[in-house]
Structure 1
């Protein structure tokens, strides 16, 4: 019997929206004011190297969270640009908050599904974060009036590791006071969401509109193309 449901965030609850171009333009403007000899292409090359989120295979080999400050400092070192700690802190804060100017929309049916499930199950969120930290993502959840639905929220920048490491799943279920065998995780990525949940003895739902499981070593228990409120309660009555 399922007593708790945990959700991934990006491309499961939130639409995938990129803020990379805005951040790149901001960084480029700041740096070129200091060193006009640095070309946009050179800055872009360093930005891509340090700020783009790791590929899944690389992430599996390096599960420790990479913080925005570290990414930005590495970029400055690449470009041989000097800044004070106060300046770095200010810029990093602005980079992390950019999403709030235009929060990502919810995927279809998400709010209704969560509100329905919340009346029957404990609800958790387990999210890897890139440049935008958990404290900002909480504000985005509040923007959509769904923050209160979650009984626990786990973010990689607050915990220090990415999925599929066991710690995000362990911490979420400990906070929910529910065993793995009575829990199910919902996410869109096989290598992080499904593998992490299954390795921790949870059940798993893969949200994917073009699923192909032929070559998967670890398979989800269920596959859904999208979250549909009318089907949700029946799906979790396991």
Structure 2
């Protein structure tokens, strides 16, 4: 095993630790009220779900969908014609959230990364960026003293494609020194993108279920996709990779 790559959300960093999304919703309600739009919390949450569906469609079609697209679709769904300043402040709550409330790492990830580094394994990230850009995701890693473990990053907003496209996996392996896929592993939580994508490349695929245990979907057959190893705790990662 020469290289291991990691998914970001719910593999390295927890997606909604300590009410991350709820604080953002509260801030948005205040911003909207400041322009005279008094909205019920559930109504705004419904607009979020609408934008989430738009993101999912774009993601599956391998098309970029950014924070400003989300705010545009949310406000359009609400019938709100907000000022440019309102839109910019709402976007900022996605792209530049308060560092005091940054989401937390997944349990035992630092120890697992330290173990891989001690074993001489090169470490990378292959991340399907959501609404928060890669600059923000790097900030989260830096804030938790994790950024230094990584030798290379393949963020979709920089590479220009999402998993399971082989291009983003190829980008990662090339950046890690031209590692052959059969000498590499990928760790992630999602069957459709992480597991199917890695296995399609010939990499060893580890499904991490510690935060989100992805059931997959019968509609696209991803419920039949499974990792070469499945772990619920990063403390078990090195053993799953044959490194312990």
The TM-score normalised by the length of structure 1 is 0.83
Equivalent position SS for 1:204: strand
Q: C-alpha displacement at 1:98, in angstroms? A: 2.1
CA 1:125/1:25 → structure 2, altered by over 3 Å: closer, same or farther?
Answer: same
| Offset from partner CA, 1:198-233 (integer Å, 9 cap, x none) | 1122221112257989x854332222221227x616
- Confirm or deny that 1:134 pairs with 2:134: yes
Q: C-alpha displacement at 1:105, in angstroms? A: 2.2
Counterpart-to-counterpart distance in 2, 1:99 and 1:128: 22
| Offset from partner CA, 1:70-92 (integer Å, 9 cap, x none) | 11112222333334545533431
CA 1:154/1:130 → structure 2, altered by over 3 Å: closer, same or farther?
Answer: same
Counterpart-to-counterpart distance in 2, 1:127 and 1:61: 14
CA 1:217/1:30 → structure 2, altered by over 3 Å: closer, same or farther?
Answer: same
Per the alignment, residue 225 of structure 1 pairs with 232
Q: C-alpha displacement at 1:112, in angstroms? A: 1.3
Alpha-carbon RMSD: 2.9
Structure 2 unpaired stretches of 5+: 217-221
| Offset from partner CA, 1:18-64 (integer Å, 9 cap, x none) | 52222222222222332346544433322221147855xx5663222
**Contact conserved, 1:8 with 1:127, CA < 8 A, in 2?**
yes
CA 1:41/1:113 → structure 2, altered by over 3 Å: closer, same or farther?
Answer: closer
Per the alignment, residue 98 of structure 1 pairs with 97
Equivalent position SS for 1:74: helix
The TM-score normalised by the length of structure 2 is 0.81
Counterpart-to-counterpart distance in 2, 1:186 and 1:111: 14
Count of aligned residue pairs for this structure pair: 233
CA 1:136/1:80 → structure 2, altered by over 3 Å: closer, same or farther?
Answer: same
Counterpart-to-counterpart distance in 2, 1:196 and 1:226: 22
**Contact conserved, 1:5 with 1:184, CA < 8 A, in 2?**
yes
- Confirm or deny that 1:235 pairs with 2:241: yes
Per the alignment, residue 206 of structure 2 pairs with 205
CA 1:78/1:3 → structure 2, altered by over 3 Å: closer, same or farther?
Answer: same
**Contact conserved, 1:182 with 1:202, CA < 8 A, in 2?**
yes
Per the alignment, residue 3 of structure 1 pairs with 2
Higher relative contact order (Cα pairs below 8 Å, separated by 6+ residues): 1
